[in-house]
Every structure is written in structure tokens, then in C-alpha cells.
């Protein structure tokens, strides 16, 4: 029997189970084999393709379609770690505890692909465990609770073979496991389809907003205004009375954040003065991390990099063009190493308009082309200052911002609603997986709620 609802709610570590279910250690259900195959090449070893950490972390299913890296392995490693259909791969170490024990199911036999160093290969015992069921079970909240406790480390977290083997699972017979796996394949596909539609809606809304902003900040609002050639290919013709400038012409100063010797990881404290790096620039706003801040003495030492209300903080690396205006409540925060601070000239530029100029699509593309760096795109004060811009007077900038505001607010509300819906769908997906692989629901009689039952109000 697949399972009947338990009399009491299932405790996080499998205290209660329905009839027909039992508790088992992972090592009794599958061979647990942490890989020792590293990403290297050696002339005396066989050429293989290496299934690496990212192939598992970003995919729930590992298949021949993935672009595996080249490596070499000894004959013994190939025999032991080459991928077989029904294997399950697990991330066994990472820089954060949240990123370990991420599971992916191996869909096909792949004799030329081997399991890489930061992974563990779980090979189910055929009469005891179904691979698809095991992959779903490893994604459940009950397993997450156990792996969070079992992980060890300070700067890097890992799961030892003994810890992996001791993980406890709720299991039913193999036929029942396959029915549950079929159910979860089917139901999560429906949820994933809804999530994909919501994500596409967000993309379309943001594209529409970006296109409108790009038009307004390069063409203005008057279709009958006399035009002139800006001399900048990607901007084209602009209103005749607008100035063709460089970003530095609209700024009092452009300042790079402090470098390594001035501010390092050892200076960070919890709940200190926030330090703003690119990761903290989200949806045109500054969203600090409570663990990335500095004490009062360090903040005083870095006063030169302190932010003022009306400054614009820009990402110096990564997604170029991402920026946000500093609001009054953010005064005194510190521009981090990965940031550039633009202080607009109040006589010539409105901060919100400067933010639009930097973040519009053409500017992002220009910054990408001009950026420097061998492994990651980087900006500096000179490059950002040379960004071509066109701008009317500060008074007209305010009128353009007033025109854009209603649409921007409406778009932001729709995007927020779609994101909340995605969160609800993701939470329901996670809860459904946990309930199914622990027998809290009988999957043969389960009825999924209609989409509107999980949509945002």
C-alpha cells in the first residue's frame, strides 16, 4: 500500500509513518559513493566527460543533453563513477550549508560521463529503492532538516560519507515508490509550467517598462519637437534643445568603493553600518544584508565612501547598469568594493533621472562593451564617466519622471504580484514533495488545487 494519512502530523525526523511504510538509513537503500574524480587531465588516463557540481545544482535531471567538461580518470574510477540510469547525484560540499545535498536524477546510461569531485553518487539497490523516488526524497523538507544538522565546516560545508549513509528516509515498497515518483513527475511539471508562465510575464513587463524608459530618456514626450542627430549611433536623433553629454558632465563626482586593504571580509560585523555591493542593488532599490556591515570605527575610517541622500549607487561588476538612488533612510551607508557612487550635480540632473540614464538598455550594452576584466566584466570611474547620455534641463527631467511614475508603479505592482505567486507555487511544490515521499498524502486519491487557489490575491 502506498500509504494512508497518519493519525498525527509527521514530525520532521520521521517519528510517525502511515501503515505500510518503514524508516531506513540511506546506506541500506543505496550505495553511497563520494567521488574522488577531479577536473584534470593526464596522459596516462582515459578521456571522459565530467559531471560537475553545476550540472547537478542547476538541473534536477542529468542527461546527455548537458555540456559536460572534459577530464581524465583511471579505469577504476570509470568503472565506479560512470553514470548509469537510475543513479542519483548529490552535492556533498559547498560554501554554504544551503547548497549541499542538492539532488539530480540520472535519466540515461552514460558510460563516458563520470561523477565529479564535489558530488556523491547514490546507486539504489534495485529491490529496495527506486532512483526517481530517491531523488524526490532527497529534495524533501525532512531530508533538508537532517542534512543541515549533519553538515560540518566553517568556511566550507560538507557531508561525509558516514553522514550521508546515516540519513533516514521514509520508504514504502518499490512499486509504491514508482507510483509516487510518477505522481511527482506529473504534478511538479504542472507547477513548473505555471512558474514559467509567471516568469515570462515578469520578463515581458520589464521589457515593456525598459522600452518605454529608453524612449522617454532619448526622445522626450513631444512627437512634434524639432530633432537633431546626437552623433551617438545607439541613441540616434534627440530633441534639438537637449544636451549631448557624458555622464561625468551631470555629476559632481564619481567614486569607486574601497579596495581590499581598506575594507576586507574581516571588517564585516552583524547589524553594523550596511555596506552596499552589487548583490544589494535589487529592483532599483538598496536592500542591505545584515551580515555585511561594519562597526562604528570602521565606518568613521571609511567616511569618504559614505553615501548621501540623492547619490546613485552602481554595480561595478556583474550585471552592469544595475543601480539605485540612495534614499534619506540610507544616508551613511558605505559604498562597497564592488560599487561605484555617482553624486549628481543638483543644478543639472535629478538623481532618479540619472538612475534611468545608467540603467536603460543602450547604456547597459555600452558599459558591457567598454568594461575591462579577464574573468568578470568590471567598470571604473573613467569608463562610467564616459557613458554617452542626452539630457534636457532638470525641470524637464522632473516632468518626464512624473510622466513615467504611474506606469512604473503599476508595472512594479504587477511584477511583485507575479513574484509572490511564484513563491507560493514554489512553497506548494516543496510541501507536495515532502508530503508524497513521507506518505502524508495518498497520491492515488490526491486532487491538485486549481491554479487560482494558489495565485496571489
Query: Secondary structure of 94-120 in the HEC alphabet?
Result: ECCHHHCCCEEEECCCEEEEEECCCEE
Cα 122 to its chain centre, rounded Å, is 26
Give pLDDT, residue 402. Answer: 95
Give pLDDT, residue 319. Answer: 85
Give pLDDT, residue 157. Answer: 80
**68 and 102 Cβ atoms separated by less than 8 Å:** no
- Hey, what's the cell of 143? 531530508
Identify the architecture of domain 22-171 in CATH. Answer: Alpha-Beta Complex (3.90)
Give pLDDT, residue 9. Answer: 40
Non-local (6+) Cβ contacts of 381 within 8 A are 254, 255, 256, 340
Give pLDDT, residue 298. Answer: 93
Per-residue pLDDT of 87-128, as tens digits, reads: 999 999 887 777 889 999 999 999 999 999 899 999 999 899
Closest CA to 284 of 334, 343, 325: 325
Give pLDDT, residue 373. Answer: 58
**How would residue 333 be classed by pLDDT, with cut points 50, 70 and 90?**
very high
Residue 195 has pLDDT above 50, yes or no: yes
Average pLDDT rounded to a whole number, residues 385-398: 96
Strands (E) located in 63-211: 69-73, 82-83, 88-91, 93-94, 103-106, 110-115, 119-124, 157-158, 168-171
Average pLDDT rounded to a whole number, residues 169-179: 95
* Low-confidence winner among 6-15, 114-123, 395-404, 425-434 (lowest mean pLDDT): 6-15
Per-residue pLDDT of 232-289, as tens digits, reads: 999 999 999 999 999 999 999 999 999 878 888 788 999 999 999 999 999 889 999 9
| pLDDT more than 90, % of the chain | 73
Give pLDDT, residue 100. Answer: 86
Give pLDDT, residue 456. Answer: 43
Helix (H, G, I), strand (E, B) or coil at 132: helix
Closest CA to 363 of 204, 237, 235: 235
Q: Using DSSP bridges, classify how beta strands 110-115 and 46-51 pair: parallel, antiparallel or unpaired.
A: parallel
Per-residue pLDDT of 428-437, as tens digits, reads: 999 999 999 9
**How would residue 453 be classed by pLDDT, with cut points 50, 70 and 90?**
very low
When the pLDDT of each residue in the chain is averaged and rounded to a whole number, the result is 89
Residue 452 has pLDDT above 80, yes or no: no
Q: What is d(CA 407, CA 105) in angstroms, rounded to the nearest whole number?
A: 44
> What CATH homologous superfamily does 243-391 map to?
DNA methylase specificity domains (3.90.220.20)
Residue 13 has pLDDT above 70, yes or no: no
Helix (H, G, I), strand (E, B) or coil at 227: strand
| pLDDT more than 70, % of the chain | 92
Residue 399 has pLDDT above 90, yes or no: yes
Amino acid at each position: 500500500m502506498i500509504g494512508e494519512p497518519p493519525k498525527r502530523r509527521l514530525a520532521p525526523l520521521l517519528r510517525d509513518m502511515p501503515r505500510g511504510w518503514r524508516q531506513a538509513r540511506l546506506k541500506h537503500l543505496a550505495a553511497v559513493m563520494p567521488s574522488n574524480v577531479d577536473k584534470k587531465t593526464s596522459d596516462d588516463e582515459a578521456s571522459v566527460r565530467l559531471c560537475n557540481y553545476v550540472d547537478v545544482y542547476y538541473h534536477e535531471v542529468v542527461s546527455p543533453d548537458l555540456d559536460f567538461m572534459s577530464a581524465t580518470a583511471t579505469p577504476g574510477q570509470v568503472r565506479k563513477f560512470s553514470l548509469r540510469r537510475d543513479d542519483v547525484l548529490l552535492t556533498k560540499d559547498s560554501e554554504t550549508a544551503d547548497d549541499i545535498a542538492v539532488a539530480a536524477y540520472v535519466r540515461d546510461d552514460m558510460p563516458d560521463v563520470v561523477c565529479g569531485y564535489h558530488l556523491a553518487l547514490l546507486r539504489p539497490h534495485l529491490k529496495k529503492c527506486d532512483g526517481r523516488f530517491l531523488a524526490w526524497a532527497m529534495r524533501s523538507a525532512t531530508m533538508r532538516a537532517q542534512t543541515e544538522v549533519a553538515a560540518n565546516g566553517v568556511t566550507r560545508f560538507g557531508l561525509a560519507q558516514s553522514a550521508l549513509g546515516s540519513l533516514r528516509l521514509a520508504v514504502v515498497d518499490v512499486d509504491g515508490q514508482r507510483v509516487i515518483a510518477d505522481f511527482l513527475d506529473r504534478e511538479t511539471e504542472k507547477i513548473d509550467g505555471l512558474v514559467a508562465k509567471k516568469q515570462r510575464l515578469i520578463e515581458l513587463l520589464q521589457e515593456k517598462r525598459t522600452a518605454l524608459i529608453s524612449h522617454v530618456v532619448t526622445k522626450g514626450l513631444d512627437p512634434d519637437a524639432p530633432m537633431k542627430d546626437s552623433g551617438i549611433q545607439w541613441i540616434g536623433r534627440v530633441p534639438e534643445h537637449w544636451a549631448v553629454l557624458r555622464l561625468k558632465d551631470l555629476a559632481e563626482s564619481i567614486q569607486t568603493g574601497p579596495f581590499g586593504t581598506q575594507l576586507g571580509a574581516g571588517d564585516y560585523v552583524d547589524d553594523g553600518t550596511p555596506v552596499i555591493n552589487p548583490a544589494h542593488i535589487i529592483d532599483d532599490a538598496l536592500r542591505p544584508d545584515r551580515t555585511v556591515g561594519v562597526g562604528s570605527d570602521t565606518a568613521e575610517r571609511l567616511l569618504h565612501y559614505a553615501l548621501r541622500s540623492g547619490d546613485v549607487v552602481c554595480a561595478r561588476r556583474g550585471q552592469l547598469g544595475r543601480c539605485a538612488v540612495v534614499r534619506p533612510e540610507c544616508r551613511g551607508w558605505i559604498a562597497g568594493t564592488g560599487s561605484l557612487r555617482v553624486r549628481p550635480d543638483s543644478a543639472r540632473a535629478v538623481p532618479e533621472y540619472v538612475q534611468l540614464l545608467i540603467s536603460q538598455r543602450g547604456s547597459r550594452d555600452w558599459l558591457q562593451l567598454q568594461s575591462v576584466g579577464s574573468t568578470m566584466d568590471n567598470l571604473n570611474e573613467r569608463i562610467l564617466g564616459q557613458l554617452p547620455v542626452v539630457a534636457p534641463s532638470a525641470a524637464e527631467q522632473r516632468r518626464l519622471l512624473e510622466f513615467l511614475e504611474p506606469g512604473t508603479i503599476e508595472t512594479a505592482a504587477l511584477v511583485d504580484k507575479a513574484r509572490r505567486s511564484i513563491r507560493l507555487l514554489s512553497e506548494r511544490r516543496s510541501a507536495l514533495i515532502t508530503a508524497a515521499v513521507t506518505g502524508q498524502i495518498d497520491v492515488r486519491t490526491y486532487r491538485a488545487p486549481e491554479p487560482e487557489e494558489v495565485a496571489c490575491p
